[in-house]
Amino acid sequence: MMFGIKAKQFFQISNLLSLSRLFGALPLVYFLLNPEILGKPVVLVLVFLISFTDYFDGYFARKLNQVSELGKILDPLADKVLVVSIAIAFFSTGILDLTLFLVIVLRDVLIIIPGIFLSKRMGEVPASDQIGKWTFTFIGIYLILVFIDVDRSSLPMIIYYYSLIVLIVVSYLNYVNRALKVLRKTK
């Protein structure tokens, strides 16, 4: 039983929603890269359905008193797999530029690796926070906007782009700050 994870936690509605986001990432990327199969409106509905599981997994976990160590792992993992999968796909097709691609991927890698270390040291997984959730949301919005071909050279998109980079960096620094506080407590 690693980190206090019990088998029954896999069947809690909150964790099933996180699992659906995790396993829905690759089919979603396929349809994002091949929108002609279902049509862009249907693909956008899939994006929203999969993305909204991020809100509902946390809602049901709290509402049904199902906050679990498994959920603390699955929720951010599903977020990262979803966003990084889409970022890789969009970068490989030229939809996403190198700078934002690197900022997104490096942030997630630099959170996952120390997160594993912290989890082993603490014996539990630190929960996601609001800044991380907002960052996931704003990255998702940007990826949707580029998917629907919003003019990236428009002033609002340029402002959004640079604001997003700042938010991603702030989110990472917030994570580092939280991790350092945890490390100080465990000494």
Question: CATH number of the domain that 8 lies in?
Answer: 1.20.120
- The amino acid occupying position 47 is V
The pLDDT tens digits of the residues spanning 26-41 come to 999 999 999 999 999 9
pTM assigned to the model = 0.85
For residue 122, what are the contacts with CB-CB under 8 A and spacing of at least 6?
182, 186
Place of tokens 């906007």: 145
Q: How confident is the model at residue 1 (pLDDT cuts 50, 70, 90)?
A: very low
Q: Give residue 77's domain range.
A: 2-186
The number of distinct structural domains making up the chain is 1
The pLDDT tens digits of the residues spanning 121-175 come to 776 666 678 898 899 899 999 999 999 999 999 999 999 999 999 999 999 999 8
